[in-house]
Amino acid sequence: MQVALERLPNSVAKVSVTIDPAEMSVAMDKAFRSVVSKYNIPGFRRGKVPRPIFERYVGRGVLLQEAAEKVVETRYTEAVQQAAIEPVAQPSIKVVTLEDGAPFQFDIEVETKPVIELGDYHDLLTIPLTVREVTDEDIEQELQSVARSQAQLVPADDEPVSMGNHIIVKLKGFVEEDEFEEPFVDDDAYGIEVGSGTVVEGLETQLIGFKVGEPQTVRLTYPTSHPDVTLAGKDVRFEIEVTENKRQEVPAVDEELAKAVGLESLQELQERVANTVKSRIEAQAKSDRLAEILGKLKERVVIDVPSALVADVVHQLLHEMQNSLARMGATLEEYLESRQIPLEALQLELRPQAEERVKEQLLLEAVARDQKLTVSEDEVLDSIRPIAEMYKQPLTALVRLFKQRGEFESLRENMLLSKASEFLATAKSEEAEPA
Convert the pLDDT of each residue in 201-242 to its tens digit: 889 899 999 999 999 999 999 888 777 777 888 899 999 999
The domain over range 305-431 is classified in CATH as 1.10.3120.10: yes
SS3 state of residue 121: coil
Fold of 153-249: Chitinase A; domain 3 (3.10.50)
Q: What is the pTM of this model?
A: 0.77
Euclidean distance between CA atoms 154 and 332, whole angstroms: 38
| β-bridge pairing 216-221 and 235-249 | antiparallel
Other CB atoms closer than 10 Å to residue 106's CB: what's the count?
A: 21
Question: Percentage of the chain with pLDDT > 70?
Answer: 98
Model pLDDT for residues 173-185, shown as the tens digit of each residue? 999 887 667 888 8
For 50-73, what is the mean pLDDT? 92
The predicted pLDDT at position 179 comes to: 67
Sequence spans of domains, the chain: 2-111, 116-151+259-302, 153-249, 305-431
Kindly tell me if the per-residue pLDDT of 292 is higher than 60: yes
Kindly tell me if the per-residue pLDDT of 431 is higher than 60: no
Q: Do domains 2-111 and 153-249 have the same CATH topology?
A: no
Kindly tell me if the per-residue pLDDT of 435 is higher than 50: no
Model pLDDT for residues 318-362, shown as the tens digit of each residue? 999 999 888 877 788 888 887 778 999 999 999 999 999 999 999
Are 246 and 165 contacting, i.e. CB atoms less than 8 angstroms apart?
Answer: yes
Question: 413, 179, 159: which is closest to 309 by C-alpha?
Answer: 413
Euclidean distance between CA atoms 270 and 62, whole angstroms: 80
The predicted pLDDT at position 383 comes to: 95
Other CB atoms closer than 10 Å to residue 359's CB: what's the count?
A: 19
Kindly tell me if the per-residue pLDDT of 251 is higher than 60: yes
Euclidean distance between CA atoms 192 and 198, whole angstroms: 8
Are 162 and 247 contacting, i.e. CB atoms less than 8 angstroms apart?
Answer: yes
State the DSSP code for 42.
T
Average pLDDT, the chain: 92
**Which architecture characterizes domain 2-111 according to CATH?**
2-Layer Sandwich (3.30)
For 409-421, what is the mean pLDDT? 95
For 405-423, what is the mean pLDDT? 94
Model pLDDT for residues 376-400, shown as the tens digit of each residue? 999 999 999 999 999 999 999 999 9
